[in-house]
């Protein structure tokens, strides 16, 4: 197995980014090419050992946890093709998004939409349903035009809307259940500049104007700071031809993105962990400290922000029309449970799609994310309370973020759930890629 980098028994345990999930795999592998992946899958299938792929570990769930073979695709991370005329770009699945974005920019291209974290691998981001925000834009998986997958028997297949369409439809948000993604073809577009406008607003005003702001802006989201009456609102729109660019100075960028949003915020989270009674005062001061700003930058630099303060997160997608009830329910949980929450609640919107296990399948959606600083003991009480309320609003949990749902109650939420299971049966009948998380959310 030339070129294969193997880490056998005795290797250190694997932890995800938030360090709330741990795996002790029998072996950790770093395949150098698709042939290596094929051999490893065949080996796992022959020995009855399960296999999972760990990208950058940015999922908060146990999606990558296994006691069998753990694959890292860090050596499958090359840009294979970028066509500036069509915008079609093929990339190996292990490339991190922040690297991919830079390579796209060098080729004069960009993703149409991105999430606010860019540490995930391309495969990890689409497989768990990563999305950005925008009423006219879908999640990252809607930009996928082709996939290369190693199935449970070791066969390598290409799929698209024209070739093996059932597999392609399911695998765009595949949860790692169908095989190992080794290459992804994405529809990109000419690189563009965004004008970002960020300001604090009264939360009652934000909710009153929510629909208008969501429709008026290409990208709109807000962060409400619990125990305050304020939210930080972000409105991002393309800079028109002829408009003057307003880039941030390197000093201001460092102060706001590194010092305030990470170093200072991490320190105040630590203070809140030690003295929870101070959290309401800290949150009020945090809103004032962030202030307002308007600037321009390449799209990927506006979409994504550095996140060095570690946390745990749960996010729910509800029908767009239910956003007001969902947000009010989160506020009610915090008040009812007398929780002290230092992290803001994030609210975004996205266009519906037709992908079987996309959280936006069949409906325009609003996404509400709740976070707690890593180490805060009340996170499960908070998350379970929010989940109870948002489940009553036909909420769907983000596949890569903490939730407590199972296949029994998830199936009715997804009209194409059984079609996904049929695709899984075809792709991995021996369940080489199963683990406890998939058993819970999909069934065996």
Judged by DSSP in three states, 339 sits in coil
56 DSSP 8-state letter: S
307 DSSP 8-state letter: -
List the one residue out of 94, 22, 84, 73 whose CA is nearest residue 436. 22
Give residue limits of the domains in the chain.
Answer: 79-190, 193-397
CA dihedral 294, 312, 143, 91 (to 10 degrees): 100
Q: What is the pLDDT of residues 174-217, one digit of tens each?
A: 999 999 999 999 999 999 999 999 999 999 999 999 999 999 99
As a whole number of angstroms, the distance between CA 79 and CA 57 comes to: 21
CA dihedral 282, 284, 290, 294 (to 10 degrees): 160
Contact 439, 381 (CB under 8 A): no
Judged by DSSP in three states, 45 sits in helix
This prediction has a pTM of 0.94
Contact 111, 188 (CB under 8 A): yes
pLDDT band of residue 1 (cuts 50, 70, 90) is: very low
pLDDT at 237: 97
Residue linked to tokens 């999430």: 115
Q: What CATH number matches the domain at 79-190, 3.30.465.10, 3.30.499.10, 3.90.230.10, 3.40.50.360?
A: 3.30.465.10
pLDDT at 288: 78
Measured CA distances, 96 to 16, 105, 409 (Å):
15, 14, 33
As a whole number of angstroms, the distance between CA 373 and CA 279 comes to: 12
- For the segment 105-109, the average pLDDT, to the nearest whole number, is 97
DSSP string, 133-150: -BTT---GGGGEEEEEEE
Paired tokens of 286: 């945090």
As a whole number of angstroms, the distance between CA 209 and CA 232 comes to: 14
As a whole number of angstroms, the distance between CA 287 and CA 242 comes to: 33
Looking only at the bridges linking them, the beta strands covering 230-238 and 180-187 are unpaired
- For the segment 165-181, the average pLDDT, to the nearest whole number, is 98
- For the segment 108-112, the average pLDDT, to the nearest whole number, is 97
**What value does the CA radius of gyration of the chain take, rounded to a whole number of Å?**
21
pLDDT over 50 at 2, yes or no: no
* N-terminal to C-terminal alpha carbon distance within the chain: 32
Paired tokens of 2: 């030339």
Q: What is the pLDDT of residues 312-324, one digit of tens each?
A: 999 999 999 999 9
Q: Determine whether 167 is exposed, middle or buried from the number of CB atoms within 10 Å of its CB (0-12, 13-18, 19+).
A: buried
As a whole number of angstroms, the distance between CA 404 and CA 387 comes to: 8
Tell me the residue ranges of DSSP E strands in 225-333.
230-238, 293-298, 311-319
- For the segment 76-94, the average pLDDT, to the nearest whole number, is 98
List the one residue out of 433, 324, 366 whose CA is nearest residue 66. 433
pLDDT band of residue 378 (cuts 50, 70, 90) is: confident
Contact 373, 311 (CB under 8 A): yes
DSSP string, 199-246: EEEEHHHHHHTHHHHHHHSSEEEEEE-TTSSEEEEEEEEEPPTTPPP-
pLDDT at 240: 81
Q: What is the pLDDT of residues 390-405, one digit of tens each?
A: 999 999 999 999 999 9
Looking only at the bridges linking them, the beta strands covering 51-54 and 14-15 are unpaired
- For the segment 209-237, the average pLDDT, to the nearest whole number, is 97
As a whole-number percent, the residues of the chain with pLDDT over 90 amount to 83
As a whole-number percent, the residues of the chain with pLDDT over 70 amount to 94
Q: How many residues does the chain have?
A: 444
The CATH architecture assigned to 193-397 reads: 3-Layer(aba) Sandwich (3.40)
Measured CA distances, 68 to 28, 44, 51, 231, 431 (Å):
9, 8, 6, 45, 12
pLDDT at 126: 97
pLDDT band of residue 268 (cuts 50, 70, 90) is: confident
Q: What is the pLDDT of residues 362-375, one digit of tens each?
A: 999 999 999 999 88
Q: What is the pLDDT of residues 243-259, one digit of tens each?
A: 888 887 775 665 566 65
Q: If you average pLDDT over every residue of the chain, what do you get?
A: 93
Q: What is the pLDDT of residues 134-143, one digit of tens each?
A: 999 999 999 9
pLDDT at 251: 57
């Amino acid at each position: 197995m030339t070129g294969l980098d193997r880490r056998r028994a005795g290797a250190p345990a694997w932890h995800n980014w938030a360090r709330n999930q741990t795996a002790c795999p029998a072996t950790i592998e770093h395949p150098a090419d698709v042939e290596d992946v094929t051999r490893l899958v065949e080996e796992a299938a022959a020995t009855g050992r399960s296999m999972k792929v760990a990208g950058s570990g940015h999922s908060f769930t146990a999606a990558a946890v296994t006691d069998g073979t753990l694959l890292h695709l860090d050596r499958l991370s090359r840009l294979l093709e970028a066509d500036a005329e069509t915008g079609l770009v093929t990339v190996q699945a292990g490339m991190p998004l922040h690297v991919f974005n830079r390579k796209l920019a060098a080729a004069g291209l960009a993703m149409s939409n991105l999430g606010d974290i860019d540490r995930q691998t391309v495969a990890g981001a689409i497989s768990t349903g990563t999305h950005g925000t925008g009423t006219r834009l879908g999640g990252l998986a809607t930009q996928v035009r082709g996939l290369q997958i190693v199935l449970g028997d070791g066969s390598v297949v290409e799929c698209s809307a024209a070739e093996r369409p059932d597999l392609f439809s399911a695998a765009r948000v595949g949860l790692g259940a169908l095989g190992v993604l080794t290459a992804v073809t994405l529809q990109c577009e000419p690189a563009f500049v965004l004008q970002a406008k960020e300001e604090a607003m009264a939360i009652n005003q934000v909710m009153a104007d929510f629909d208008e702001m969501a429709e008026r802006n290409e990208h709109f989201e807000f962060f409400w700071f619990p125990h305050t009456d304020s939210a930080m609102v972000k409105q991002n729109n393309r800079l028109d031809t002829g408009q003057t660019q307003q880039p941030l100075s390197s000093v201001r960028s460092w102060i706001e993105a590194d010092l305030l949003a990470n170093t200072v915020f991490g320190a105040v989270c630590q203070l809140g962990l030690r003295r929870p009674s101070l959290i309401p005062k800290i949150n009020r001061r945090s809103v004032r400290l962030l202030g307002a700003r308007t600037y321009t930058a390449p799209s990927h630099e506006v979409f994504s922000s550095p996140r060095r303060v570690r946390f745990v997160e749960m996010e729910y997608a509800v029908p767009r029309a239910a956003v007001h009830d969902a947000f009010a329910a989160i506020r009610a949980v915090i008040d009812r449970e007398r929780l002290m929450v230092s992290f803001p609640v994030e609210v975004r919107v996205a266009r519906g799609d037709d992908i079987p296990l996309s959280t936006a399948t069949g409906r325009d959606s609003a996404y509400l994310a709740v976070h707690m600083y890593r180490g805060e003991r009340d996170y499960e009480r908070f998350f379970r309370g929010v989940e109870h309320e948002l489940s009553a609003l036909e909420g769907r949990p983000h596949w890569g973020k903490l939730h407590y749902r199972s296949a029994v109650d998830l199936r009715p939420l997804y009209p194409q759930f059984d079609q996904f299971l049929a695709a899984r049966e075809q792709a991995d009948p021996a369940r080489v890629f199963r683990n406890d998380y998939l058993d819970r959310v999909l069934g065996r």
